[in-house]
Amino acid sequence: MYVAVKGGERAIDNAHRLLAHERRGDRAVPEVTLAQISEQLALGVDRVMVEGSLYDRELAALAIKQARGDLIEAIFLLRAFRATLPRFGATEPVDTGAMAVRRRVSSTFKDIPGGQILGPTFDYTHRLLDPQLAEHSEPDQPANAPAAKEAMPRVTDILGRDGLIEPSPESDAEAPVGDLTREPLDFPADRDLRLQNLARGDEGFLLALGYSTQRGYGRSHPFAGEIRFGEVELEFVAEDIGFAVPLGSIALTECQMVNQFKGSATEPPCFTRGYGLAFGQSERKTMAMALVDRALRARELGEEALAPAQDEEFVLSHSDNVQATGFVEHLKLPHYVDFQSELGLVRRLRQDFANAAEQPDALREAAE
């Protein structure tokens, strides 16, 4: 039970003013701009857009600034703003095969059609602090090359041509696609809703679950079939004109995991799939998402579902950091009535315990 705190309005107003003061910091230091956040803290902006379910770099940067760099608070702010927006419809499915690729790697084949493109990555850095970044620095211009004209088919499509990997799971084209933002999550959940949930899910939570699958809790021996990052075109079918019109492009990261499958009485052994897709450059998120997606397909593939990452209700009910924050941080709010009730109960139980301890002594004295 929550109760109002008398005289708290002025204290709350002062807390808000103090928050704004602390957010600004030392007035002698130039105030950070949204452009600086968007351009120089790009991966943080990408995460806020992904888990806030809204592709808008400027608004995500604003949320990060308002939240003093607390990404979960920024995600909460962006998610709340998203809830106020009108919805005009849904875009056509994006074709990641036609992506203007900026980064593309595969751990399954060294030579793939279109080649591997390392792109911007921390993978080969030494993870040592760079003191040059403490001062103003101008990095060297990167090497540029003309855009590749060679097709870049997905690695899973190459495996699929030889029947070495399961066909990509497809839903009924006539069936409506679930919408987690409009209907409450129910179980069992179809894969479209599971993937929506994982895309919005907390990166740290998914990372831990994905790690658990590699440590034997739902082992499926994954390989990173392909990770690609780049821009894809968005199209929207306007009812008035009856055909798709381009809306622009957005940056996406896609991960296709290739996992082992022993087969069954009706299916020969082959590789199976795990899938991840997210806004911006979000490789760790999409890899973790793909691992968990594959783990959640255990029953579909006739496997035992014993590990936490294979428990659909556990995973999907606890992945959202906005919900988790609300439940955990509400404990800071006044619970005076609840606590007084618990306190009274504990005191009565302690008194009963003391009375029971005294009774054997009284009985022993009476017997003597």
pLDDT in tens, 55-108: 999 999 999 999 999 999 999 999 999 999 998 888 888 889 889 899 999 999
Q: Does 163 share its domain with 47?
A: no
How many of the other CB atoms lie within 10 Å of CB of 85?
9
Q: Average of pLDDT values for 178-187?
A: 86
361 pLDDT more than 70: no
Position 339 in a domain:
no
Q: Does 160 share its domain with 60?
A: no
pTM of the entire predicted model = 0.87
Q: Does 103 share its domain with 209?
A: yes
Q: Does 194 share its domain with 47?
A: no
5 pLDDT more than 60: no
Print the SS3 string covering the chain.
CCCCCCCHHHHHHHHHHHHHHHHHCCCCCCCCCHHHHHHHCHHHHHHHHHHHCCCCHHHHHHHHHHCCCCHHHHHHHHHHHHCCCCCCCCCCCCCHHHCEEEEEECCCCCCCCCCCECCCCCCCCCCCCCHHHHCCCCCCCCCCCCCCCCCCCCHHHHHHHCCCECCCCCCCCCCCCCCCCCCCCCCCCCHHHHHHHHHHCCHHHHHHHHHHHHCCCCCCCEEEEEEEEEEEEEEEECCCCCCEEEEEEEEEEEEEEEECCCCCCCCCCCEEEEEEEEECCCHHHHHHHHHHHHHHCCCCCCCCCCCHHHCHHHHHHHCCHHHHHHHHHHHHCCCHHHHHHHHHHHHHHHHHHHHHHHHHHHHHHHHC
Average pLDDT, the chain: 87
Output the CA torsion sign for 107, 108, 109, 113.
negative
Q: Does 80 share its domain with 222?
A: no
Query: What's the start-to-end Cα distance of the chain, in Å?
Result: 52
Q: Does 218 share its domain with 269?
A: yes
Instruction: Give the distance, in angstroms, between the CA of residue 339 and the centroid of all CA atoms in the same chain.
Output: 35
Q: How far is it, in rounded angstroms, from Cα 90 to Cα 247? A: 12
Q: Does 305 share its domain with 274?
A: yes
Q: Does 14 share its domain with 69?
A: yes
Asked if 326 and 75 touch (Cβ cutoff 8 Å), the reply is: no
2 pLDDT more than 50: no
Position 331 in a domain:
no
Q: Average of pLDDT values for 313-341?
A: 90
- C-alpha distances (whole Å) from 171 to each of 220, 255, 289, 300, 312 are 23, 20, 19, 14, 19
Least confident stretch, 132-146, 190-204, 315-329: 132-146
Q: Is 145 exposed, middle or buried (0-12, 13-18, 19+ CB in 10 A)?
A: exposed
Q: Does 104 share its domain with 51?
A: no
Q: Does 311 share its domain with 203?
A: yes
How many domains is the chain built from?
2
Position 136 in a domain:
no
Q: Average of pLDDT values for 296-304?
A: 86
Which amino acid is present at 48? V
Asked if 308 and 296 touch (Cβ cutoff 8 Å), the reply is: no
Which amino acid is present at 328? V
Least confident stretch, 23-37, 58-72, 155-169: 155-169
How many of the other CB atoms lie within 10 Å of CB of 52?
25
364 pLDDT more than 70: no
% of the chain residues with pLDDT over 90: 44
Instruction: Give the distance, in angstroms, between the CA of residue 14 and the centroid of all CA atoms in the same chain.
Output: 34
pLDDT for the residue numbered 1: 41
pLDDT for the residue numbered 6: 56
Residue from 322, 234, 330 nearest 52 by CA: 322
Position 360 in a domain:
no
Tokens representing 5 are 């705190």
pLDDT for the residue numbered 115: 86
Residue bearing the bigger pLDDT, 174 or 41: 41
Position 73 in a domain:
yes
Residue bearing the bigger pLDDT, 334 or 169: 334
Tokens representing 22 are 């602390």
Q: Does 106 share its domain with 216?
A: yes
| Residue numbers of the domain that contains 290 | 96-120+150-168+180-325
Q: Does 203 share its domain with 313?
A: yes
Q: How far is it, in rounded angstroms, from Cα 25 to Cα 113? A: 51
